[in-house]
Amino acid sequence: MAEQERRKERLDRGIKARTEGLYAISSWREVSYLLAPRAGLIIILLLLPLIVPGLYWQRVLALAGVYALLAISFDFLAERVGLVCIGGAFMIGVGGYISGALNYYLKLPVFLTIPIGTLGGALLCTLLWLPCLPLRGIYFAVVTFMFPFLTTSLILAGNLFEGTEGLSPIMGFPNTWIAVYLMIVLILLFIFGLRRLCGEDIGVVFAGVKDNDLAVFASGINVTRVKIYALYIASLIGCFAGAFVAHFSGFVGVSLFAVDFSIMPIAACIMGGPGTMVGPALGAFILAPLSELLRGFGQLRVVLYCLVLVGFILFKPEGLLSWAARKYHQIEHWVKV
């Protein structure tokens, strides 16, 4: 007697099929089907600073934004280009130290230090990571992970930039609203920009590099150069985040190179939905406030990130956003075999 076996069948929803290609604009229903989730997320993000109770949570939001940026940069490099770079803390540190130092030693104003910190920091990060680019996957990850530690040791050992005390005070933003909205706008810009970029021809080249870089070499393209472009773009994001943190917290020190900044974005990325770039940002906006809530429990936060990370890698590697998208676009039901 054969056992009754069930399997899950997934079908695209009717409306999904009706919104393919040109048909998307055939009526308001189709348009709203496509727009609703995107517009919804954007609007929620824009309204968040207004909804949250109080200045404290606005600060949390801004910091969540920092993690979101790091997560987006990690996602871009890892999922779109195939470069697993666990050195988020290095980017934050470099961006933070450059703009902080410019402000502290040269008294440059915020609207100058942040761009310089971003562009210059990205340049520095790319140059320093340049020799590591030919390394195969896991070694590249390990090396980039080591960079923040090396820099911390250097700074402390050589007592550079005031060593353990760090640079303080650093001029902050005129007010928190500007800071928070700057962060949010930039997150949106980066997400749109990166997604657009990956749809262009160069995005295809990135995908090629991730897939099979030998064939890319055989196509007459210097893969290392392509990786440099990608790394520079990702560092722009990371260093901006660093510059932001420096001015937002008014302090620059070796804490900018904390392991937290390297690990949390990965957790956020995996949890949120690797490859989508929106997912990691979403993940960051969930994990960061969560860890704030648990601040009272000390190191439990880190334990939390790690368990979340492990849980998602093992059981739901597609991440929250992809899962939600799947539910939105498809109907599932059990079918008897």
Of 5-13, 26-34, 238-246, 307-315, which part binds other proteins (CB under 8 A)? 307-315
Inter-residue contact 79 to 275 (CB < 8 Å): yes
Of 117-125, 188-196, 238-246, 261-269, which part binds other proteins (CB under 8 A)? 261-269
Of 2-10, 31-39, 215-223, 241-249, which part binds other proteins (CB under 8 A)? 215-223
CB-nearer residue toward other proteins: 231 or 267: 267
DSSP state of 221: -
Residue from 35, 112, 303, 331 touching other proteins (CB under 8 A): that is 303
CB-nearer residue toward other proteins: 58 or 144: 144
Burial string for 90-121 (b: 16+ CB within 10 Å, else e) reads: bbbbbbbbbbbbbbbeeebebeebbeebbbbb
Residue from 219, 293, 327, 328 touching other proteins (CB under 8 A): that is 219
Is 197 a binder of other proteins (CB under 8 A)? no
Inter-residue contact 299 to 251 (CB < 8 Å): no
DSSP state of 275: T
- What 3-state class would DSSP assign to 322? helix
Residue from 109, 137, 169, 199 touching other proteins (CB under 8 A): that is 137
CB-nearer residue toward other proteins: 58 or 152: 152
Residue from 202, 293, 331, 335 touching other proteins (CB under 8 A): that is 202
- Tokens standing for 322? 């992809």
Q: Least separation, in Å, of the C-beta of 316 and other proteins? A: 12
Residue from 67, 97, 261, 305 touching other proteins (CB under 8 A): that is 305
Inter-residue contact 279 to 78 (CB < 8 Å): no
Of 13-21, 258-266, 320-328, 329-337, which part binds other proteins (CB under 8 A)? 258-266
Residue 245 CA: distances (Å) to CA of 117, 121, 257, 263:
11, 14, 12, 17
Amino acid identity for residue 205 in this structure:
V
Q: Least separation, in Å, of the C-beta of 53 and other proteins? A: 27
- What are φ and ψ of residue 333, in 5° steps? -150, 160
Q: How far apart are CA 140 and CA 245, in angstroms?
A: 26
Residues 12-71 that bind other proteins (CB under 8 A): none
CB-nearer residue toward other proteins: 56 or 297: 297
Residues 235-254 that bind other proteins (CB under 8 A): none
Is 3 a binder of other proteins (CB under 8 A)? no
Of 108-116, 138-146, 279-287, 326-334, which part binds other proteins (CB under 8 A)? 138-146
List, in sequence order, the alpha helices (H) in the chain: 14-18, 28-51, 55-75, 88-106, 110-129, 137-158, 176-199, 201-211, 213-218, 223-249, 259-272, 278-293, 300-315, 319-329
Residue with tokens 């009717």: 14
Q: Using a CB cutoff of 8 Å and minimum separation of 24, what contacts does 128-136 make?
A: 129/85, 129/87, 129/231, 130/228, 133/83, 133/224, 133/227, 133/228, 133/231, 134/224
CB-nearer residue toward other proteins: 50 or 314: 314
Of 88-96, 118-126, 166-174, 205-213, which part binds other proteins (CB under 8 A)? 205-213
Is 220 a binder of other proteins (CB under 8 A)? yes
Bond prior to 37 in cis (omega within 30° of 0)? no
Q: How many residues bind other proteins (CB under 8 A)?
A: 59
Residue ranges that bind other proteins, judged by CB under 8 A = 78, 84, 86, 131-132, 135-139, 141-143, 146-147, 149-150, 152-154, 156-157, 201-202, 204-205, 207-208, 210-212, 214-223, 259, 263, 266-267, 270, 297-300, 302-303, 305-307, 309-310, 313-314
